[in-house]
Amino acid sequence: MAFTLEAARAEILAKVVKAGAKGAASPVTAKTKEPKRALYVQALEALEADGAIHVDRSKDKPKYFSIEFAPTVAGAANKIDQLAARKHPALLTAAELKKALPKNESALLVQALELLENERRLLKLSRTTATVYAHGSSLRAMLGASEPKAPAQAIDANSGESIRGSYDDLVRLSGFPDVEIATLQQHTRVPMSDLKDWLLAEHKNGRAVFGIGDWSLADEQTRAGVIDMRGDRYLLVRLED
């Protein structure tokens, strides 16, 4: 049977899905002959253009990833936020914060800093002629100031749609279907206990899937969103129709 463009696409997609976060090397090797070589190249270009795969070109040889592992501004921001929290009370420059990012995310530095500033997770300060950043939550805690929060709103009969709307916004922002429960609570302003009860009810009805997340990297604010079920601690949720 002749090797086709569709076969090349399917093979590449299967390869990157299997590779997961490690990424896959190019299917084109020194032994790949024409016309198979040209079909692989065409398939790779088309998949990248369609947003079906992510290509990391930060090293000599590109690596190919399923789109769920593509770098995102939200992901880069979280890494910077964690570094700033660990270094607090030190004031850090953008170059120092950039060290939190792997090469394939370094291009997102400016956008990530803007996101963190907008959410007040980082505070921009001036030190002589230099711009430095302080970790927002840690600084406010040190000064005895409360976190800036809008009044919480209890869940009512119409809140489910609002929660799902907030969830959809967070998915679009991060590019990932799994959202931190604590982050969802911050965006919805629903009391945490009420949100957890709603999520558990959605889970029981097959409309919410919980994810473990990384407890070791989670800060206190993230851990506040944990849902304990059968001895497992879930920090993430994915809402389904």
Give the residue from 152, 154, 184, 147 showing the smallest Cα distance to 169. 184
> What CATH class has 5-69?
mainly alpha
What DSSP string runs through 1-66? ----HHHHHHHHHHHHHHHGGG-B--S--TT--TTHHHHHHHHHHHHHHTTSEEEE-SSSS-EEEE
pLDDT at 122: 92
d(CA 34, CA 20): 28
**Residue 48 contacts residue 40 (beta carbons within 8 Å):** no
Q: What angle do CA 169, 58, 47 make, to 5 degrees?
A: 60
Question: Structural domain boundaries of the chain?
Answer: 5-69, 73-143, 159-239
Q: How far is CA 87 from CA 90, 93, 134, 135, 140, in A?
A: 6, 12, 9, 9, 15
Which stretches in the chain have pLDDT values below 70? Answer: 145-158
Question: In the prediction, which pLDDT does 78 show?
Answer: 85
pLDDT for 151: 45
Considering only CA atoms, give the Rg of the chain. Answer: 21
- The predicted pLDDT at position 145 comes to 61
Identify the pLDDT of residue 178. 93
CATH of 159-239, one of 1.10.3470, 1.20.58, 3.40.50, 1.10.10: 1.10.10
pLDDT score of 40:
95
